[in-house]
Amino acid sequence: MNFKIKKEYLFKHLNYVIKGISNKNIRPILNCIKFDLEKDGLYLSSTDNEIAIKTFIDKKYIEENYTCGKFVVFGKYIYEIIRKLPNEIISIEEVMNSKIFISTTNSSFSLNCNNVDEFPSLELEENKNPIILSNKVLKNIFNQTAFAASTSETRPAITGINFKIKNNILECTATDSYRLAKKTIILDESVKEDINIIIPTKNLIELSKMFSDDEEQVEIHIFNNKVIFKFETIIMLSRLINGTYPDVSKLIPTEFLLKITINMNEFYSLLDRVSLFSTEEEKNTIKLECVDNTVTVKSDIPEIGNVVEKIEVQKNNKENIKIAFSSKYMMDAIKVIDSENIELSFNGEIKPIIIKNPEDENLTQLIVPIKTY
């Protein structure tokens, strides 16, 4: 096998498949990238058994007169070599003794290869009726929910994002059991069978890093134990998390004692200052009190000092509220809302706080209060 290709084309695609490699893997073959040069072009693939990525470079990007073949090579090394080479034509050639030889005018690298037959087969089959969403919509879903997923392995089910589809309604939920973020999307077509799967959060973050800035359609093929995303020249597989996702539908109330509307930027800066006097050991607890149209937010560390902040708000009625919560969770929630105002809804000091963009019904966030008053 030998071929020549411009650095930028090869590097663009190595940037995709490098995300399928976890460097912690003790099986060397799972730290490798497979090169498969066929008549129609070059296929690159990688897998760490939890995730698999395959991408394709059309033969029009490859210099003429190549000979087909396959090899499997250390992902980290081929990636760094190509990254550091100048943007010239790079020649890659398989030589005897399972080695490849990478060269430009002044540089020559020799890299040992692994056995092609040991590379796992990726099983990237398709489904008849994939769900189709744009990369922008998917990226937005991940940005607005992933941060709320649990990072503790004690309950694996909630370390992922739950994708639930009934008819044409997709609900994506993430929670760590102290807070929750739920995004609802209306699909163009209804599904025939209900879907309820859990996708590992970190795989979805890697996926969204591969999306280009242009709007592109993403096909989502769902199977029993895996999900496959197809877009541009890329196929990505993610294993699913086994287990039952908690039923969160009853957690989110539809009626509230009090709704307040606050300027988002001002409230975020206020929280940032109040959080100075909250500590991780105390769950970043801060106290909020709403009397008439004034919200007062307080916090203190007895040996250091205290802070009291005030902000004017709009209310939907004359109720008042006194409640404590994590400043970090509230700031995380606000950060993903893109709007001038946010709406906080309360049902009392021991009931969850609901955070919304008043102009967007599709994103609902919830924070469980902390009992201190």
Q: Backbone dihedral region of 114: left (phi > 0), alpha (psi from -120 to 50 degrees) or beta?
A: beta
| Least distance to its own copies, CB of residue 265, Å | 10
| Least distance to its own copies, CB of residue 110, Å | 5
| Least distance to its own copies, CB of residue 87, Å | 12
Report if residue 7 touches its own copies, rule: CB under 8 A: no
DSSP label at residue 340: S
Binding residues for its own copies restricted to 97-116, rule: CB under 8 A? 99, 106-112
| Least distance to its own copies, CB of residue 240, Å | 35
| Least distance to its own copies, CB of residue 297, Å | 10
Range in contact with its own copies (rule: CB under 8 A) among 50-58, 90-98, 269-277, 341-349: 269-277
Q: Which one of residues 1, 81, 116, 331 is an interface residue with its own copies (CB under 8 A)?
A: 81
Q: How many residues does the chain have?
A: 373
Binding residues for its own copies restricted to 271-300, rule: CB under 8 A? 272-273, 276
**DSSP-based three-state secondary structure for 209:** helix
Distances from the Cα of 6 to the Cαs of 11, 103, 113, 373, in angstroms?
9, 12, 22, 65
Report if residue 270 touches its own copies, rule: CB under 8 A: yes
Q: Which amino acid is at 164?
A: K
Report if residue 27 touches its own copies, rule: CB under 8 A: no
Q: Backbone dihedral region of 357: left (phi > 0), alpha (psi from -120 to 50 degrees) or beta?
A: beta
Distances from the Cα of 298 to the Cαs of 35, 285, 321, 340, in angstroms?
59, 10, 14, 23
Within 10 angstroms of residue 153's Cβ, the number of other Cβ atoms is: 7
Q: Which amino acid is at 235?
A: I
Q: Which one of residues 77, 147, 178, 223 is an interface residue with its own copies (CB under 8 A)?
A: 77
Binding residues for its own copies restricted to 302-341, rule: CB under 8 A? 303-311
Number of shown-chain residues binding its own copies (CB under 8 A): 29
| Least distance to its own copies, CB of residue 73, Å | 9
CA 194 to CA 87: how far, in whole Å?
49
Contact residues: its own copies, CB under 8 A: 74, 77, 80-81, 84-86, 99, 106-112, 269-270, 272-273, 276, 303-311
